[in-house]
Structure formats: structure tokens, C-alpha cells
Amino acid sequence: MLKGFFNVPKAVNEPVKAYAPGSKERELVAKTYQEMWNSKIEVPLYIGNEEIKTGNTRNMTAPHDHQHIVGTYHLAEKHI
């Protein structure tokens, strides 16, 4: 037995974009992809609210091009 009043808001979807060749949306996606491809990121550890950089890092590569380094991540070590 339900004992409440429920007012569920009507769902509103995002506009559907076609990304057709030559469209503004497609050009924006391609530009953003190139910017991300040409930059490198560093991913620290997050423990609680603390950001930790150990200096012990490994490379992250693109899944379709293992020669291209997209960034580095920090490894956690066992603390004694």
C-alpha cells in the first residue's frame, strides 16, 4: 500500500542532432576530438577528497593506436 503523493515530472529529451557531413555539429565534434588527441592528461589518485600524485606513473594509450600516448595515471602502492 502506497502512502504518498507522487508528482513525477514529464521527461524532456535533448534535441536529436543528425551530425550529417558538413554540419556544424559534426565539425564541432571533429574539432574537439583533434584537441583531445593532441593534448595529454594526468590522472591522479583520489582517496576521499584528497588528490594524490605518487610520481609512479604509467602511460595511457588510445585503444585503436597503442603508440599514441594520451596521458598518464598515478599508481597506488601498499603503504606499510
- pLDDT per residue over 65-80, tens digit each? 999 999 999 999 877 6
* Distance separating alpha carbons of residues 40 and 69, to the nearest angstrom: 7
Give 38's contacts (C-beta < 8 A, 6+ positions apart): none
Looking at residue 4, its pLDDT comes to: 79
* Distance separating alpha carbons of residues 27 and 32, to the nearest angstrom: 9
Transcribe 1-27 into DSSP letters. Answer: ---S---PPPP-PPPP----TT-HHHH
**60: its cell numbers:** 595511457
Please tell me which residue, 4 or 72, carries the higher pLDDT value: 72
The pLDDT confidence band at residue 1, using thresholds 50, 70 and 90, is low
- pLDDT per residue over 12-46, tens digit each? 999 999 899 999 999 999 999 999 999 999 999 99
